[in-house]
Amino acid sequence: MTALVEKRGVHIPVMLAEVLATLDPKPGEVYLDGTFGGGGYTRAILERADCTIWAIDRDPQAIARGAVLASAFPGRLHLVEGRFGDLLALLGSRGVDGLDGVVLDLGVSSFQIDDAARGFSFRMDGPLDMRMGGAGPSAADLVARLPADELADILFKFGEERQSRRIARAIVAARAVQPITTTAQLASIIRGVLPPDRSGIDPATRSFQALRIGVNEELVEIERALNQATRILRPGGRLVVVSFHSLEDRIVKHFMNDATGQAPGPSRHDPRGLLARAEAQFELVTRKALRPGAAEVADNPRARSARLRALRRLAVEEVAA
C-alpha cells in the first residue's frame, strides 16, 4: 500500500526508513522496485545512492505519473508497465539479467484506493471496478456472474470473512432485482446482513479486500514475483517485502523460510527425511518481521498493519562455508 503520507508534495511510503536500511542501496548497483505506485521508494533509493532502478507497475496511471520522476533522474530510472509476477520476462527483454536488490510493497496503492473512479474503496461511491490494470473482469463482473458458492469461496479465502455464505446469498438476491454496479450498492448490501463490528471496522472491509485480491489475482502474483526475484538476485543481493495483511505476510514468511532453509523438516516417519537437504542459497536479513514505529502509525494509521521481511542471496564462498 504505497504512498500513504504526503509531505511537501512528495509521497512517503510505509516504513521508508526501514526499507532503506534493509536494502542498503550502493552506488553503481541495479535495483528493482516491483510495485512502483507513487514512486516513494524509488525516489528515496535514487537519492540515497548513485544507482539504477527498474520500476514495474501494472497500473498505466502509475507509469504515467512516474515520467516526472524519471526526468529528474535521467538514465537512472527505467519505467516498465506490467505485472511484477512477470519480472524475469519484462527485465530480460530489456537486457537485465541480474539485480542487487528488489523491493516489493504489496497490496493496493493509496493512489488507487483514494480515487473513487477506480472502485477500490467502500468509503466513496464509484464504479465497482477494482482492477489495478485495465484488462480482465472487474469486481462488478464477478459479482454479476458468479454463483453464490463461488462468491462465498472468494470472500472466505481472500477476505477471511466468516459470514461469506450469508453475504454471497445476499449479493445473489440483490442482483436479481437490479445490477450491482457501484461500490455504494455493494457496501450497502453487505452492511444490511452483517452487524457493525465492535472494533469499528466497517462490515464491508473483508469482502472488498477479497474481491480486489480475486480480481487482480494478487496472491498468485506474489508467489510468482518472489520466485522470480530470488532467481535474478546477484550474490549479496537483497529482497525486501512489505505486506499489509496476514494472507500476504504468510506467503512471504513461508517463502523466505523455505529459501533460507528455516522451514521445519519432514517428520521422522516421512521417507523424505532420509534425503539430504539442499544447501540454502539465502539467509534471512530479518529474523522476525519488522513493524512500523509508534510515531509512524500515529502519523499514518494505515501503516499499523505493515510487516517488513527480507532475505539476502549468499555469495558462493558463503554457501561453501
- For every residue of 97-157, DSSP letters joined together read --EEEEEEE-S--HHHHT-GGG---TTS--BS---SSS-S--HHHHHHHS-HHHHHHHHHH
Q: Does the pLDDT at position 263 exceed 70?
A: no
Q: Would you call 28 helix, strand, or coil by DSSP?
A: coil
Which pTM was predicted?
0.89
- For every residue of 151-208, DSSP letters joined together read HHHHHHHHH--TTHHHHHHHHHHHHHHS---BHHHHHHHHHHHSPPPTT---TTHHHH
Question: Residues 153-173: what's their mean pLDDT?
Answer: 97
Give yes or no: residues 196 and 265 share one domain. no
User: Could you tell me the CA-to-CA distances from 104 to 28, 120, 240, 242 in Å, in that order?
Assistant: 21, 20, 6, 6
Q: Does the pLDDT at position 186 exceed 90?
A: yes
Give yes or no: residues 29 and 121 share one domain. no
Give yes or no: residues 162 and 25 share one domain. no
Among 189, 216, 243, where does a domain finish? 216
CATH code of the domain in which 134 resides: 1.10.150.170
Cα–Cα distance, 84 to 228 (Å, whole number): 9
Q: Does the pLDDT at position 144 exceed 80?
A: yes
Give yes or no: residues 233 and 316 share one domain. yes
| pLDDT at residue number 274 | 45
Q: Does the pLDDT at position 321 exceed 70?
A: no
Give yes or no: residues 119 and 259 share one domain. no
User: Could you tell me the CA-to-CA distances from 128 to 45, 115, 119, 125, 267 in Å, in that order?
Assistant: 35, 12, 5, 9, 47
pLDDT digits over 206-256, tens only?
Answer: 999 999 999 999 999 999 999 999 999 999 999 999 999 999 999 999 999
Give yes or no: residues 89 and 23 share one domain. yes
| pLDDT at residue number 9 | 46
Give yes or no: residues 126 and 207 share one domain. yes
Among 216, 231, 252, where does a domain finish? 216
CATH code of the domain in which 225 resides: 3.40.50.150
CA angle 46, 103, 225 (to 5 degrees): 140
Q: Could you tell me the residue range of the domain that residue 257 belongs to?
A: 5-111+218-320
Q: Would you call 248 helix, strand, or coil by DSSP?
A: helix
DSSP 9: T
Number of domains, the chain: 2
Give yes or no: residues 178 and 243 share one domain. no
Give yes or no: residues 125 and 99 share one domain. no
